[in-house]
Amino acid sequence: MGESGKSIDVEKDMRALVAEILETEPDQLDLSAKFVKDLGMDSMMALEILAGIEKKYRIVIPEDMLSKFTDLEATIKLVTEILVKNKKI
């Protein structure tokens, strides 16, 4: 862990995490599908995803960013930004 040569595939990881919580297959998730409106995610599921992200990457997601996690595409972008900022990738 934490090796500079280790590649992190944020999209693959996020697809797997979201699919597990929504009980679907990762390849069935459309990048632009809205979590609540299109996928029927509730607030508890959203919290599970955020907790899963924080645990997997050992990062803290600032509260002011929570409302920006609206779909898979935005989630991948935000997690990547946090990982780059924290020098994890």
Q: Give the whole-angstrom CA distance, residue 57 versus residue 79.
A: 9
What is the SS3 assignment for 84?
A: helix
* DSSP code at position 86: T
Fold of 10-85: 1.10.1200
What are the boundaries of each domain within the chain?
A: 10-85
Checking if the pLDDT of 1 tops 60, the result is no
Q: Give the whole-angstrom CA distance, residue 75 versus residue 77.
A: 5
Chain segment 17-40, per-residue pLDDT in tens:
999 999 999 999 999 999 999 999
- Spell out the residues 6+ positions from residue 78 whose beta carbon is closer than 8 angstroms to its own: 61, 65, 68, 69
pLDDT recorded at residue 25: 96
